[in-house]
Chain A
Amino acid sequence: MKKLLAALCVLCAAAQPQAQDKAQLDKARAEGKASFYANITAVEPIIKAFTADTGVTGEYTRISTSKFVATMITEFEAGKLMADVVQAPLPVLDLLKDKSVLASYRSPAAAGYPEWTRKDDKVQIFGIEYVALIYNKEKVKAADAPKRYEDLTLPKWKDKIVMPNPANHATTISWLVGLKENVFKTEAEWRTFLQGLAANKPMFVASFGPTPAPIESGEKLIAISMPKYIVTKAPAPLDWARVSQPLMGTPRAIAVASKAPHPAAARAFIDYWLSKKSMEMLAKDVGEYVLAPGIYPPIDGIKEAKVIAIRELSDAEIQKWGAEFKKIFDVK
């Protein structure tokens, strides 16, 4: 009898969250839709799957990073914020949090994520916008690809490199500072690397988006870019340099908006986004580096790479280092 009662208790306990989930989902369905503000590539299949699986319509508004904070704050202050869920690099969400644009929500779907991904009860980190050295594997043999970041300063790469402008591209600035803090032993070594890289006269473009094309076409041979392009630009002859040092990138995070027009739908969307199914889609189809345990993008060797999140730089720091890199790289 005791055993039966205990089994009943366990069943009831298990059924309670399920009942809660169902009630939550019913509420989300009643709200109708979840509006998702982000600037992330090719996530439409996840939005579509969310709509199909939950019965709540997912709606994606893509806003360029340079306009993201301005748009969010303008809408928020005018009482017209249409976002339910916000996804962006971590520094952006921290800025929005400071302006009270984000609400508290801890998703049960993030339970298996590493502890460091839960900074507080508002923001959940789910991926790293990882940067690597991407080269044209038809023009460069794997054996000749850099083995360390310092190899980029070798004369053989002169006029062969493309990278986002280090004077203003925030992620590149953060990445270069990340090298100082995580890779080089001393600041002097780091500065020598920067000067060597600058001496090789890299071609600058506005962001990571335009970096793969010159590599694919052979205009340049190697890029400071993102491994995800190996997936999204297949069958382009792209590969990444297996450097002995860690790969680094800015954390990507997600949160519910504080005045979300559809709060239950927002929570349902975040639960779905952080689920294994969505993260697998993000890794497999878009090549993103996600933090859900055991899920990796289908890029040879990435599973073995050490990928770390770089420190969030404040805007003042980004501007300070941008000005410094402007001098080092002779950006007029």
Chain B
Amino acid sequence: MNSSRTKLTWLLIAIVGALTVCPVVMLVLGSFSEGLTAFGHFTVDKYVAAYTDPGFYEVMVNTGIFVLASSLLSTLLAIFLAYLNTRTDIPFKFLFKIISIIPMMIPHLLFAVSWALLLNPSNGLINLGLKEAFGLDSAPLNIYSMWGMILVEGLLDLPIAYLIIAPAMASFDVALEESSRVCGAGTWRTLLRITLPVLRPAILAAFILGVVRSLASFAVPSVIGMPGRVHVLATYLYEMIATGFATDYGKAAAVGMSVLVASVTLIVVYRALTAESEKFVTISSRGFRPSVIELGTARMPLFGLVGLLSLVLIVLPVAVLMYTSLVPYSMVPSAKAFSMMSLKHWSDVLNDPISLLSLKNSLFLAVVGATLGVILSVFVAYVIVKVKTRAAGILESLSYLSFSFPGIVIGVGFMWFFVQTPLYATIWALLLGYIATYLPYGIRPMSSAFIQIHSHLEESSLVCGASPLTTMRRIIVPLLIPGIVSGWILMASMFVRELTLSVVLSRPGTEVLAVQILRFSEDGLWGKLSALGIVMILISTTLVVMATLVGNRFKAVQG
């Protein structure tokens, strides 16, 4: 048993290492090389230049506030939504699940632009409405600020947090809560003293993933922070690589190393905080049944609250996108704007051969990439959670390597790596790059689910003569279905809108949706961009619905 686990661990270290270490090694080489590529004479000048810039420390303070606050917001919202969706009798649950993961499907650039259209201080729609309603002289809200960045980034990271917390909450053993109530605790006390502490691994995982994602985020700092002159690490890096034509990615990589160190530290802290994972097991061989809590009179008010939240936070930006795709240019809604509406942008996009090819490629990468990614993630998560050796810790850190690097830089690391291989400029380079970078999207939900499955189940199966593989297939995987579905959805949605690697690795014939959207954005063609963005959302929604249905069917078959 131990020997096969050790072999599996080292095999996975080899696979994940090959996927994630190579681009990072190229970036390390680049950060210590003179010139613009990874292979120059050794120098530490890039580190000296990057870390002695007086503006760097102010940027780091802003970055700290931005990432911590947005991750906190996304985690708290995710706990709230996941609890209502998985544990209570709130109505229209399926709809709520879809709504709570929609921001995941919207290209981040578009999401940020939608919010700028709603809340800019000059003619943002919400500001105009508030001015009209309360007779104000100036706009009460300004999205171009730190709080605006936190709000939008928090919403963008909400699906990741939700998809990690929801499966853990779904597998929660109600007996723990019942015991608490029997001992006289009320609903709130039970939630705070029992439910949330037991869910600590999932909550911490969601928070840490949020921190890592917002550290690497570029769309929100660029669209909302830059006009408000609030600079964080991503825009600082952008400034570094955009000033001049001979972009020095090595210097940007030197700054990226501190992000990498911060991310790896967070993972170590996470492992320490969840080290005694037995404490968090809720599915053991003694029987488990997730139960539904009756909300009683609070049912409809809570539904109304979540509905309002969804409307303001998600439906409105999507409606803005739909509107933008129909008007000929950027217009504030008016009689004139509605009279000028047409399907021209839609027709242009749907008749554009490159857009259609991008659609096909993105769909292929989403379905095949997410499936392969999830298969790899099941094994990696198993080792991370169930094999408590130092090698398992190494594997977990490796799985975060590419993911932790700022997106603006990691793509170049992959280019420096793939150009040395025959895969360069092929769709396979994109596929491998996607899986390597977004592996934590598959691993995290699966780890949260694994943590809650007691080893007694596995041991009982082995005692009864089943092989480790049969145990995995017959016992573990069926219990992991919520985690597998979450992981697949996270990966597939991410791959549909992936930009940072694609913009560097995509070539004629391997165009993908996000790159095509970026082209429209660079040319200021917001109508076409919105139309293609909605196509992207529809594809992701279809994939999410299909994955959920398949997951439900599996659960039904397993009985």
Contacts and interface: CB of A to CB of B under 8 A. Distances in A.
Contact of B245 (A165, A170, A214): A170
Contact of A82 (B226, B243, B354, B507): B507
A80 B424 contact: yes
B245 A95 contact: yes
B227 A203 contact: yes
A277 B339 CA distance: 37
Contacts of B519: 62
Contact of A61 (B117, B328, B507): B507
Nearest to A44: B354
A167 B524 contact: no
Given A80-B425, A210-B223, 9 more contacts: A66-B242, A67-B503, A78-B420, A80-B424, A165-B239, A210-B521, A236-B328, A319-B243, A319-B244
A167 B526 CA distance: 25
Contact of A69 (B222, B246, B331): B246
B241 interface: yes
Contacts of B227: 203-205
B438 interface: no
B39 interface: yes
Interface residues of A, number: 64
Given A236-B329, A318-B243, A332 B226 contact: no
Nearest to A202: B227
Nearest to A226: B524
B243 to A, nearest CB: 4
25 contacts: A35-B508, A44-B354, A60-B508, A70-B37, A70-B412, A73-B36, A74-B419, A89-B245, A95-B245, A165-B226, A167-B239, A170-B242, A170-B243, A203-B227, A206-B226, A207-B522, A210-B223, A216-B330, A217-B331, A219-B123, A235-B328, A318-B244, A318-B245, A319-B243, A322-B243
A246 B420 CA distance: 48
Given A168-B242, A206-B226, A209-B523, A69 B329 contact: no
A174 to B, nearest CB: 10
A212 to B, nearest CB: 5
A68 B36 contact: no
Contacts of B328: 235-236
Interface in A184-225: 203-214, 216-220
A310 B17 CA distance: 49
Contacts of A168: 238-239, 242-243
Contact of A205 (B36, B226, B231, B244): B226
Contact of B247 (A35, A67, A206): A67
A68 B230 CA distance: 27
B222 to A, nearest CB: 5
B83 interface: no
B246 A66 contact: no
B522 A209 contact: yes
A247 B223 CA distance: 28
Interface in A298-332: 315, 318-319, 322, 330-332
Contacts of A331: 229, 231
A209 B122 contact: no
* Interface size class, chain B: 35 or more
A67 B416 CA distance: 12
B525 interface: yes
Nearest to B250: A70
A77 B37 contact: yes
Nearest to B124: A219
Contacts of A35: 508
A64 B522 contact: yes
Interface string B402-443: 000000000010011001100011000000000000000000
B229 A332 contact: yes
A229 interface: yes
A167 B231 CA distance: 12
Contacts of A95: 245-246
Given A209-B521, A213-B524, A73 B245 contact: no
A179 to B, nearest CB: 19
Point out which of A42, A62, A216 has the most chain B C-beta atoms below 10 A from its C-beta.
A62
A77 B239 CA distance: 26
Contacts of A167: 239, 243
A55 interface: no
A250 to B, nearest CB: 10
A71 B415 contact: yes
B230 A332 contact: yes
Contacts of B39: 77
